[in-house]
Amino acid sequence: MTEFSFDRTLSKINGFFKKTIFWLKDNVTITSGKTGFITGSVFAAVLMIISVLNYSSFTSLESEYRWVLLAVALLLPLIIGFEIAYKVSVNDDFANKIFGVILIFLLPLLSITMTECLNGIFVYDMTYLGFFANYLLVLLFYFLVFSLSGSIKLSIFIVNPILYGFALAHAYVVDFRGTPFLPMDFSGITTAMNVAGTYNFKLLYNVIIATYLLIFIMVIGFKVKTPKYHIVFKITLRSFMGAFFGVLMTLFYFTSVFADAGVKPDFWNQTRGYKNYGFAFSFFCNTKYLFMNTPDGYTADEVNNYLSENSIGENEPTVSTPKSAPNLICIMNESLADMSVIGQFTTNEDYMPFMRSLTENTIKGNLYVPVVGAGTSNTEFEFLTGNSVAFLPSGSNAYMLYIKNPIASLVSTLEAQGYSSLAFHPYYASGWHRTSVYDYMGFNKFISLENLIDVSILQDYAESGSGADYLQALVDSYYPDRKNMLIRQYISDSYNYSTIIDDFENRDKGKPYFVFNVTMQNHGGYTVSASNFDECISITSTDTYYTKASKYLSLVKASDTAFEELINYFKGVKEPTIICMFGDHQPSIEKEFIESVMGVSGLGGLTIEQEQLRHITPFFIWANYDIEEQYVDKLSSNYLSSLLLKTAGLNMTEYNKYLLKLSETLPVIDTVGYIDNQNTYYRWSDDTQYSEELKKYEKIQYNFVFDNENKKTEMFYLNGFTINNELDGGEE
């Protein structure tokens, strides 16, 4: 046996490095020209100035790595400058070919570093599976482009800007609403564009660094040349890459191989999933679930049995039915929430004193909604139809995807009983496809922002790029008598309710009145201040000033005052009237505030009970006549309209009766999971004694929404009523 010799081993290592250095010296050329040097210097200087001007976005971070990140933001411009100024050439043909293949396998590391920077995490924050999955996914897209083009340059130029664009959208979506960017958000692009101007688009620290990384990668793409491989090797390589991409995509989309192995989104907490498994992987995995599959074992004939077996009997109102059907005013209040449900904090004054005090002739309580921070129309869908978003693909939006034909709802149930119907939303009509959806639901009329403010004013404001005070000035000049019309740049709740009152006073008095109103006052963009906005609420239980939270609570105070005005008006109305108001979701405010109030160090590891707290908004059913007062601790939004019909003493569909019966056992069914009447919390991944009943509910909903050929219309409509309606707009 040869003895180990330290000197001999050291000599071999030195010899290897010596040969490598000589090889590099003979085969690698580094050159620079005057143009390249000037271009590199200019790029470095411009990027350095950007970093310096935005240094506060780094120093204001609470992270212990803020100085490291600032150093990276100052160092990267210098590296990019050198990269542009100098050109590296490999003269050895064989080594150049090997380097070309290696480069394709190395580039995804840079690409996912860029996307995860925009995801707000370091690469090592991901799980091992997350890192490997992101690497493999990005590599597959390099393979796809290379297999089609045979060009490394095109692979870099095509893959990376697309990844950057998606990840950039994710960065701002998270900053604005606190939840990840999902594939389904594309269907709401019109709505997003309408409200984008109300947000403060600051240059985030991670956007700066990620942009520098993109530039670095693109310069590599600009300088790299695809080696001239032998035709047989090139065809083999491109064929292998294309086939590898095709096989894995087929397995992912058309089989359960990957899903069974755990390769799927974190459905129950997408925020946690994006942190653990990275942006590219999490976003891509969600694309598989955009399409609605038929529930296992579904047959349309079963639906009648499910409904008849599990519904309550004939209508048994809890109150005496008035001589005439009561007028119904239903209000989904934008972002209305009592944030004390997530934990205790104090303010300088109560931000919702009237709502807390409202008890006489009132049913009120906690409403569990399917979304947090955004996704208004999904809560709207649940309220109007009685269906649950929990049975739709994660991240999907019912209005944008699934309502393509006439559909039964609270609207059709009331119209079958002689009601008029008005939809009212004081923002752009195009949002969430409401014009089409309201038509399919059978509303008689739809009033939107375009019916309240002259379109030329809206165009002027949109094109000016100015703030809320500019819009207020335009409104003052056109409508000098509308002093309370706006709070910030949105229609105030007070003006919103005065519009309802005006419409009520001019209604067709031969029919009971029904209006469904989605307010706008409390919409996100909580960094905006304006002369028409009284920021009266401040948080006193902490020394930290939370800008968004404080402004939001001040908006809630304005909502509380406006709601009191509405109630006071209808107290004086002789006709029996019920007002049902609820919040669509909690607001997107500082996560640091939410973490502080909840007493947690992060929102990615919440217990199911804590997750459910974030889905609670208040609801109120108030009548101007005697009804039995009640406090409901837990109710999800899919049940609320059925409870409203029962309270009003109106006829209900078999579906409404089924839902009321189900609510006795499972009062909460939402996207987090479900809660039973024993206050036990369950996730959707749990196999429980309720699993079979939930599968029945899912099959009924599938028939309701998707199975148009075999729809059991008699279960969802009253008295053979069908929707045959063309939606009318309001009048200016």
**How do residues 353-408 score in pLDDT, each as one tens digit?**
999 999 999 999 999 999 998 888 999 999 999 999 999 877 777 887 788 889 99
pLDDT higher at 414 or 43? 414
What pLDDT is recorded for position 91? 66
> Treating both helix axes as pointing N-terminal to C-terminal, what angle do 654-665 and 691-705 enclose, rounded to 10 degrees?
150
In the chain, DSSP finds a helix count (H) and a strand count (E) of 29, 16
- Residues 570-605 have pLDDT tens digits of 999 999 999 999 999 999 999 899 999 999 988 878
Whether pLDDT at 636 is above 70: yes
**pTM, two decimal places:** 0.73
- 116, exposed or middle or buried, with CB in 10 Å at 0-12, 13-18, 19+? buried
Confidence of residue 516 (pLDDT cuts 50, 70, 90): very high
Strand positions, DSSP E, 569-696? 577-583, 616-623, 630-636, 668-669, 673-675, 681-683
Q: How large a percentage of the chain has pLDDT more than 70? A: 85
Whether pLDDT at 280 is above 90: no
Q: Which of 287, 263, 251, 243 is nearest to 143 (CA)?
A: 243
- Residues 253-272 have pLDDT tens digits of 777 667 666 666 765 467 77
Specify the pairing of strand 327-333 against strand 577-583: parallel
| Non-local CB neighbours of 268 within 8 Å, separated by 6+ positions | 611, 672, 673, 683, 684, 685
Q: Where are the domains of the chain?
A: 92-290, 301-456+485-674+691-729
E strand or H helix that includes residue 425: strand 422-425
Give the span between the Cα atoms of 453 and 491, in whole angstroms. 10
Question: Which residues pair with residue 154 across a beta bridge?
Answer: none
pLDDT higher at 60 or 408? 408
Q: Which of 222, 194, 183 is nearest to 80 (CA)?
A: 222
Residue 215 backbone phi and psi in degrees, to 5: -60, -45
Residue 537, both tokens: 């609420």
Give the span between the Cα atoms of 369 and 354, in whole angstroms. 23
> Treating both helix axes as pointing N-terminal to C-terminal, what angle do 152-177 and 128-149 enclose, rounded to 10 degrees?
140
Task: Measure the CA angle with vertex 360, ends 357 and 361; round to 5°.
Answer: 135
Neighbour count for residue 540 (Cβ, 10 Å): 11
Mean per-residue pLDDT for 289-317?
73
Whether pLDDT at 179 is above 80: no
Q: Which of 104, 227, 89 is nearest to 159 (CA)?
A: 104
Whether pLDDT at 235 is above 90: no
E strand or H helix that includes residue 490: strand 490-491
Most confident option among 198-202, 371-375, 397-401, 461-465: 371-375
Whether pLDDT at 112 is above 70: yes
Give the span between the Cα atoms of 412 and 710, in whole angstroms. 19
- Considering Cα of 375, then 377, then 380, then 381, what sign does the dihedral take? negative
Mean per-residue pLDDT for 695-716?
91
Sheet with 327-333, strands from edge to edge, namely: 630-636, 362-368, 616-623, 577-583, 327-333, 514-518, 422-425, 445-448, 728-729
Average pLDDT, the chain: 85
What pLDDT is recorded for position 732? 46
Q: Any long-range contacts for 238-245 (C-beta under 8 Å, 24+ apart)? A: 238/146, 238/147, 238/150, 239/147, 241/143, 241/144, 241/146, 241/147, 242/143, 242/144, 242/147, 242/148, 244/140, 244/143, 245/140, 245/141, 245/143, 245/144, 245/147
Give the span between the Cα atoms of 225 and 53, in whole angstroms. 36
**Domain 301-456+485-674+691-729 carries which CATH code?**
3.40.720.10
Decide: 85 and 36 in contact? Cβ < 8 Å. yes
- Residues 642-683 have pLDDT tens digits of 999 999 999 999 999 999 999 999 999 999 999 999 999 999
What pLDDT is recorded for position 433? 80
Neighbour count for residue 356 (Cβ, 10 Å): 14
What 3-state class would DSSP assign to 309?
Answer: helix
- 25, exposed or middle or buried, with CB in 10 Å at 0-12, 13-18, 19+? exposed
Mean per-residue pLDDT for 195-216?
75
| CA distances for 637 relative to 124, 261, 700, angstroms | 40, 34, 17
Confidence of residue 728 (pLDDT cuts 50, 70, 90): low
Give the span between the Cα atoms of 673 and 684, in whole angstroms. 5
What pLDDT is recorded for position 692? 93
Mean per-residue pLDDT for 454-479?
89
Would you list the DSSP string of 212-236?
HHHHHHHHHHHH-------HHHHHH
